[in-house]
Every structure is written in C-alpha cells, then in structure tokens.
Amino acid sequence: MAQQRPTVVVGGGISGLSLALLLHRAEVPVTVLEADSTPGGTARTLERDGFLLETGPNSLLDRDGAVAALATSLGLQLRPAAASASRRSLVLGGRLRELPTAPSAMFTSDVLPWGAKLRLLLEPFSRRGPPDVDESLGSFARRHIGRTLTATMVDALQTGIWAGDMERLSAASAFPRLVALERGYRSLVLGAIRSRRGVGAGMGRVQLSSLDGGLGALSKAAAAALGTRVRLNAPALALERRGDGWSVVTPSGTVEAPRVVLSLPPTEAAGLLRPFDAGLAEALAAIPTVPVAVVHLGYRPALEPEPVGFGFLVPPRERRDILGALYVSSAFPFRAPGGGTLLTVLLGGAHRPELLARDDEGLVQAARAELSALLGVSRAPTLTQVIRWPRAIPQYNVGHAQRVASILAQASRWPGLWLGGNAYRGAGVADCVRSAGELGRQMLAAAGP
Ligand SMILES: Cc1cc2nc3c(=O)[nH]c(=O)nc-3n(C[C@H](O)[C@H](O)[C@H](O)COP(=O)(O)OP(=O)(O)OC[C@H]3O[C@@H](n4cnc5c(N)ncnc54)[C@H](O)[C@@H]3O)c2cc1C
C-alpha cells in the first residue's frame, strides 16, 4: 500500500484520529482534515480553574480492550472510576432514589413498587420477539420486564447513553447485547446468569474509566503522534471524483487522494456526498441526531455534604428540565485536583431539544434549579461552563441496521470512498475506537499486500 498521495481522513474526532493512527502505523501515508482548531470532536477535555471539564463524554466502558490498547500505545493509561461510582440514583416520583448496587437487592429495596417486582419475577418466562422484526427498545423491554420498569429504569438507562426516545430507538442496534441475550437464551435474566457462567466466566467486570488528564487526552495524544499529518482549521468544503481518486477542497487548496474516509456526523457526510450521489446523501441524512447541552458547575470549597456516587438519571416521564447529573469529583477525584466539587448536568435530547434555544445563563439556571430541587444544592457555583452540541448523538432508531447496510452498499460503489465515525456501529467512545480499528484493517486488506 505504499502510495505517495496520502489517504485523507475527513474529521479528526476520536474515530478519525484512531483510524489515521492505525493507517500511519501500517506505513500508509495519511492526512487528517479537521474543521476545528482543536482535534478530538466531541471528546475533548478543557482545563478551567483547575477543574478538568469534559466537552462531551465523561467516561467509557472498554469492553473489548480496544481503548486500553490504543492508550497504552500512546503512553497513556485508563483510570477506573472510584469504587463509589457504583452508587447510582434515579429520579422517581420527583425524588432522588438510590438504586441497590446488587440486582438481587432490588427485591428487598423499596425503590420499586411491588407490582414491578412481581413483574420482574416473571421475566424468566418471557417470550422471544417476532423474528425479523426490528423492535423498538420500549416494546422489547416491556415484553421482558413490564411497563413500570421500562418507563423508569430502561428509559433512564437509554437517556444516559442515547438521550433518545425509547419508542423510536431500535433495541437491536442501540442495545445489541440485550437482544443477543434474548436470541441466545430467551430470558434476559437467565441469559445474563448463563452467559456469565460460560464464556464470560472468570473475566473481571468491565469498569467505567477515564484517563489521566481526562478522556480528551486520548485524542490529544493520537493527534500529537500524527503530528503535521493532522491539519486543523481545515474543513472539507467539497469532495470531487478525480480520475481514479478523489479531490478534497479545503479553504487553503485542494488535496488529491487515492482514498477518502468521511469520519463525520452523518449530516456532514451527506453534505459532501450530495452533489454526486443524492441517494447516498439522502440515506445518510435519514440517520437523525439529537442535541445535548453540557453544563459544568464547579464549587470551591467543596459542597457540604458532597454528593457521592456516579450521579443520577431522569426518566423522561418525570418531565424535568435535565437528563441527569454526574457527580464528577466523586467518581473521578483527579478531575477536581486540590479539592472542590465538580457536577456536570446534561440537558436536551430527543424529548427536550427546545432547551438548547436558551442562552447560557438560561441553561445554567435550569441546571441549578434542578440540582436545588433534587439534591438540595443551592450554593452558587464558582465556575460555570456551557458546551452545546446541536447534533450530539446519532440515533440508532428502528430500521438502523438496514439503513446502515444500504448506506455501506451504496458507498462501496465508489472506489476509494470509506465511511467511519459514530453513526453506524456504536456511538460510545470505545465503540468508535473499536470500529475505527475494524475499518482500518478492512482498508489495509482491501489495498492488498
Ligand atoms: C454530550 C455527549 C456526551 C457523551 N457521553 C459519552 C459517554 O459518557 N461515554 C461514551 O463512551 N460516549 C459518550 N458520547 C459519545 C461519544 O463522545 C461520541 O460518539 C464520539 O466521541 C464520536 O467521535 P467521532 O470521531 O465519531 O465523531 P466527532 O467527535 O463528532 O468527530 C467528528 C469531527 O469531524 C469534524 N468535522 C465536521 N465536519 C467537517 C468537515 N466538513 N471537514 C473536516 N472536519 C469536519 C468535527 O469538527 C469533529 O471534530 C457522548 C457524546 C456527547 C456529544
């Protein structure tokens, strides 16, 4: 694959950077074009008043070790959350309720009503879903655990990952492990027990992690390892087919490339592809995204008492102004070095996109009002920082798998065109790193020896 003209990766988020690094390490000449002045996309870390603020993702679950391998190769190490991060709460009936840490303790705790506990006992008798139907998460979950648990626990869980609408999200695409348990074992409870005894036996539980310096350290180190191969403030303005390769138009000139990878949010990729493949652009634009605002609130000296645990999530049926809050300095004390309390509040999502129309002051006020009502925190923060993502998270809604298959089939008709990023095979940071690795290996194999 020794080529003079570089493979161009458009988009220097964690997906594009980890792909570019893999290609570079395989001695493929590569250039990353990144529109912003900083690499990392939504996964960056800011240092403000001594606090480490994540612009988007707060922690990751590195199930298959792809992030640990990338981090180690860059001289970084994953940093697991404090043990107290296993403590999580939900808003139920307008109040914060801490969940039992062991699932079996759910039956003795008073967090759930009796009806919901009895329904949970029936889960081992659940039916499998209809074959060949891409079921919504809401419908899938109700079949297994009933209405109450679905509207509370499951909707809160998806809110923490997708900020989505569980009646639209595809169970198979958004929660593939749950659907695999059903396919394999019919019951999720029996499946979880049996799969733990089988393949997963003896394996340690995957821990929620960050990195020294925050999650942004990963993209920062990947970009540093790529050096001048990453071009910042270099948005791809247009893409053109040129001979047997591609030209990418940037404000400072045109880059010729034998291969182009669009590692972009789906709407951005659609914009570049529309002039020469309207069908492909339409299919990409059909992957919706939801907006999310991140509000960081720092307190020095620390709050008394300090909130302890990972944080809390709000099921949409509670109709509050926030999606949830993370007790950052409790779960990751190194992100508030020298003491102090750091809380991160998330707003927006599929159910409340209109909240992002508020100005920064309005978002801070909404976050503070909810923390006051739910946590009793009324003190004014010493630091506030608002970050907005109008197209934060792609939604893997019903039909997603088919949509992606069709997108990839259409893209494969264009030699040298590849699609990467979080819109296709998982949106978590760890999914992005894993799928960038898969894409890189596929590209190397396609290029031959
Ligand atoms: C608020 C929020 C919270 C999240 N929380 C978590 C979490 O706790 N844990 C977790 O695992 N995941 C979380 N995620 C998801 C995860 O952060 C993202 O899915 C992941 O970082 C996406 O990486 P990416 O490289 O695919 O895309 P992006 O980060 O979106 O990168 C795309 C890049 O392309 C650039 N770009 C766009 N257009 C152009 C153009 N025309 N030319 C050149 N460059 C362009 C952008 O500037 C950007 O840098 C969260 C996401 C958000 C937004």
Structural domains of the chain ordered from first start: 7-43+65-76+216-287+397-447 (3.50.50.60), 112-197 (1.10.3110.10), 289-394 (3.90.660.20)
How many whole angstroms separate alpha carbon 52 and alpha carbon 59?
13
Residue 138 structure tokens = 């809401």
> CA 267 to CA 141: how far, in whole Å?
30
Q: What are 126's strand-pairing partners?
A: none
Residue 193 tokens read as 């027990």
Residue with CA nearest ligand 1 atom 50 = 57
**How far is it, in rounded angstroms, from Cα 49 to Cα 241?**
48
Cβ-Cβ contacts under 8 Å for 234 (sequence gap 6 or more): 33, 34, 35, 250, 251, 252
- CB of 113 closer than 6 A to ligand 1? no
Cα 114 to ligand 1 centroid, rounded to whole Å: 41
Residue 82 near residue 331 (C-beta atoms within 8 A): yes
Q: Is 50 in the pocket of ligand 1 (CB under 6 A)?
A: no
Task: Tell the residue nearest (CA) to atom 34 of ligand 1.
Answer: 11
189 alpha carbon – ligand 1 mean position (Å): 33
DSSP label of 221: H
Number of H helices, E strands in the chain: 15, 20
The CA distance from 79 to 274, in Å, is 42
Give, for all 449 residues of the chain, the pLDDT tens digit. Answer: 444 689 999 999 999 999 999 999 999 999 999 999 999 999 999 999 999 999 999 999 999 999 999 999 999 999 999 999 999 999 999 999 999 877 777 778 888 888 888 898 889 989 998 888 999 999 999 999 999 999 999 999 999 999 999 999 999 999 999 999 999 999 998 888 887 765 444 445 678 999 999 999 999 999 999 999 999 999 999 999 998 899 999 999 999 999 999 999 999 999 999 999 999 999 999 999 999 999 999 999 999 999 999 999 999 999 999 999 999 999 999 999 888 999 999 999 999 999 999 999 999 999 999 999 999 999 999 999 999 999 999 999 999 999 999 999 999 999 999 999 999 999 999 999 999 999 999 999 998 65
Distance of CA 67 to the CA centre of its chain: 14
| Strand ranges inside 271-340, DSSP E | 289-299, 311-313, 324-327
SS3 state of residue 45: strand
Give the distance (Å) from ligand 1 centre to CA of residue 6.
24
Which of 264, 434, 438 maximizes ligand 1 atoms within 8 Å of its Cβ, making it the mutation to test the pocket?
A: 264
**DSSP state letters, 379-429:** SPPSEEEEEEEEEEEE--BTTHHHHHHHHHHHHTTSTTEEEESTTTS--SH
Q: Which atom of ligand 1 is nearest to the CA of 432?
A: 26
Whole-angstrom Cα distance, residue 216 to residue 44?
4
State the pTM of this model: 0.95
